[in-house]
Structure 1
């Protein structure tokens, strides 16, 4: 597959890493391995499908060390050892790396106008220690149209709240004025108020944990007439038949509790999903509810909200590919910094692969593994090396 040239960059990502002294928190005395070369080697290994084991990633780095040095004009004599690798990775300044990564990708926020962004979290299961139920976790903001990750943050699942991390991420990345889809965990006055105040749009799940609001919305669905209705065609996939029905209800005249009065609720969306296995099992149906501060004045407005609800699953698709294609959850480490850094490098890998638009991402990883020179060429075209 021929690489698609990216927008011209004045500095390659490798050079940017090399020039940023704050990236490496190691003591300058005794430094043997260049941090930029280590991170580039790991990225190449991820692009060749060697994820799932730090030892497998390291073997790839060693086997292709000479070629990588030639591509980057590096004079380092030997590759980093397996024992040193996690120790060096733990010394990467994650905040600096994330800033470099997303600045280098140069997501143009005005260009996102009209595009819905899905926000969701994911546990890094390889970081969960024996006897524990939570470890490190990652929150991602994903463009529904492309699955490109445009923002990311990490937190400790044992000690921190995803809600706080999401609010901070949206504020730091300047995303509160965008169109955002979120799950019911984030139906919180502070979150929706910040989006509404910034003139952003949201569609957010509603569940029974918001008991009073949930009951009021169910009653409205029973009494009011929908302002928009749509039923999808019957789809056959994943060994089952599936159909979705949507109804939108106006909330402009509804009265809410004081905590919700500045949330800007305009539309309630009722969604029914009907599924039946091809083997003939009984039909199953589930109903869910969503709230939005976007009004439905025309049928296109209702269709847009329904598409945003459906498109939210693109973030789950991205998580699935990280788990199944890149084997993210298989890498075991007891160093939180290493888990977070490897996750950020996977984000770099996923965003790069999306630029190729492969029909099969796993097949593309195999192609790069079989022809490492084509990966080097792709990395140079994309200004990574």
Structure 2
């Protein structure tokens, strides 16, 4: 039976990324092999360019890599050359390979959208004119993997236009009514109306910096004698700064009408959600509360709205793993950080898919299937690492 068929398929797909180097016929280390080895090195726990290069250098005769590459000799570039290769890789071509590889794993029914600074893109101000770079991540809430990125070259305010550009990419979405969630920065009339026009759905957070919109929501809610539906969630464990959390959800919509609130800029507002969050100190018993408001262009239950809103924060967990497992914030990528960022997402997605399938099983040497233990197992087991590429793309996995 052939080994590592999916790894070999990925290697073949990486050949579509054009090589910027001029004398292609003289290249001793093909770009697709370099990119694949970087993903493998990241899976093994090597996060800095120097560490990635060192791992590649000492694994030129790795039998598993030689099997995947179908060669008896692997050439490794110099450290400085590796850095140059990665900072000159065609990000859009690499992103296309990424999207095609992970698309079968993503349901795309509920999508969390959030931007992330790539802090190492302007270390100590060496590239002041270039500014920090940022990347917009689109996460599939069910599989908990990022299935697409959008690159932002200036500052985080570009996150608004980046999402609008992504919404115009027909290959990412369909007319089946995906539900988008994002933080209040994206609660813009043009963005929400575009989602609605494309038959998508949204849950949009409204904060105090959108004073007029928030006041209109509060005034509309006050016209109701009581909510259409309510839901209370009390967490038994400590969270949010080691405090007990209670969330009281109140849902408002008009059963006899399509819209619950008219707004001259925002179209088709069907439901309003008020969430009162109470934090209680376990020792002093002191409690503090604050209220959040959301609007949506569809109707469901209060409990379902809360579940969808809380699931949005899986994208923040993803960002946390990028920093804790791959040291993304500490990685110095200078002026072109996007290619290494895509490759980190490759590695993290493979970790997450394995965790989705095995989180309640004792399949690792330590008996625990956590993200950190998956990384630790990769560090000590090349065959386990290679098999992460062979995971099935069934969307029915228990996640």
1:291 counterpart = 2:295 = yes
1:25 counterpart = 2:20 = yes
1:64 counterpart = 2:62 = no
Q: Distance in 1 between matches of 2:131 and 2:88?
A: 23
Tell me the secondary structure at the aligned position of residue 294 of structure 1: coil
Q: Distance in 2 between matches of 1:13 and 1:107?
A: 14
Aligned to 1:232: 233
CA gap of 1:103–1:78, structure 2 versus 1, over 3 A, is closer
Candidates 247, 262, 266, aligned match of 1:256: 262
Aligned to 1:122: 116
Aligned to 2:9: 12
Q: Distance in 1 between matches of 2:23 and 2:392?
A: 31
- Measured after TM superposition, the shift of residue 237 of structure 1 is 3.0
Residues 236-247 of structure 1 aligned to structure 2 (within 5 Å) = 236-238=237-239, 239-247=242-250
Q: Distance in 1 between matches of 2:121 and 2:230?
A: 44
CA gap of 1:309–1:71, structure 2 versus 1, over 3 A, is same
Structure 1 residue runs of 5 or longer lacking an equivalent are none
CA gap of 1:187–1:272, structure 2 versus 1, over 3 A, is same
Q: Return the TM-score normalized by structure 2.
A: 0.84
Check the 8 A contact 1:71/1:376 in 2, yes or no: no
- Larger displacement relative to structure 2 (133-142 or 81-90): 133-142
1:186 counterpart = 2:186 = yes
Q: Distance in 2 between matches of 1:134 and 1:265?
A: 37
- Measured after TM superposition, the shift of residue 175 of structure 1 is 2.8
1:343 counterpart = 2:347 = no
CA gap of 1:286–1:10, structure 2 versus 1, over 3 A, is same
Aligned to 1:89: 86
Candidates 244, 268, 273, aligned match of 2:272: 268
- Larger displacement relative to structure 2 (222-231 or 247-256): 247-256
Residues 21-170 of structure 1 aligned to structure 2 (within 5 Å) = 22-29=17-24, 30-51=26-47, 53-67=48-62, 68-74=65-71, 76-107=73-104, 111-112=107-108, 115-131=109-125, 135-158=132-155, 161-170=158-167
Structure 2 residue runs of 5 or longer lacking an equivalent are 360-368, 394-399
- Measured after TM superposition, the shift of residue 76 of structure 1 is 4.8
- Larger displacement relative to structure 2 (26-35 or 135-144): 26-35
- Measured after TM superposition, the shift of residue 58 of structure 1 is 1.5
**Which of the pair has the greater relative contact order for Cα pairs under 8 Å at 6+ separation?**
1
Check the 8 A contact 2:112/2:181 in 1, yes or no: yes
CA gap of 1:377–1:213, structure 2 versus 1, over 3 A, is closer
Aligned to 2:371: 361
Q: Distance in 2 between matches of 1:254 and 1:28?
A: 63
- Measured after TM superposition, the shift of residue 371 of structure 1 is 1.4
RMSD: 2.6
- Measured after TM superposition, the shift of residue 380 of structure 1 is 5.1
Check the 8 A contact 1:184/1:206 in 2, yes or no: yes
CA gap of 1:382–1:345, structure 2 versus 1, over 3 A, is farther
Q: Distance in 2 between matches of 1:151 and 1:213?
A: 31
Residues 309-320 of structure 1 aligned to structure 2 (within 5 Å) = 309-320=309-320
Q: Return the TM-score normalized by structure 1.
A: 0.86
Q: Distance in 2 between matches of 1:134 and 1:255?
A: 41
- Measured after TM superposition, the shift of residue 198 of structure 1 is 1.4
> Which digits, 9 at most, give the CA deviation of each residue in 1:259-311, with x for residues without a partner?
22xx2101111011112343436322221111100024xxxx33322211111
- Measured after TM superposition, the shift of residue 159 of structure 1 is 8.2
Q: Distance in 1 between matches of 2:211 and 2:88?
A: 46
- Measured after TM superposition, the shift of residue 34 of structure 1 is 0.9
- Larger displacement relative to structure 2 (152-161 or 163-172): 152-161
Check the 8 A contact 1:268/1:292 in 2, yes or no: yes
Tell me the secondary structure at the aligned position of residue 145 of structure 1: coil
> Which digits, 9 at most, give the CA deviation of each residue in 1:236-260, with x for residues without a partner?
1343211111111116555534222
Tell me the number of residue pairs that the alignment of Structure 1 and Structure 2 aligns.
364
CA gap of 1:11–1:105, structure 2 versus 1, over 3 A, is farther
- Measured after TM superposition, the shift of residue 38 of structure 1 is 0.9
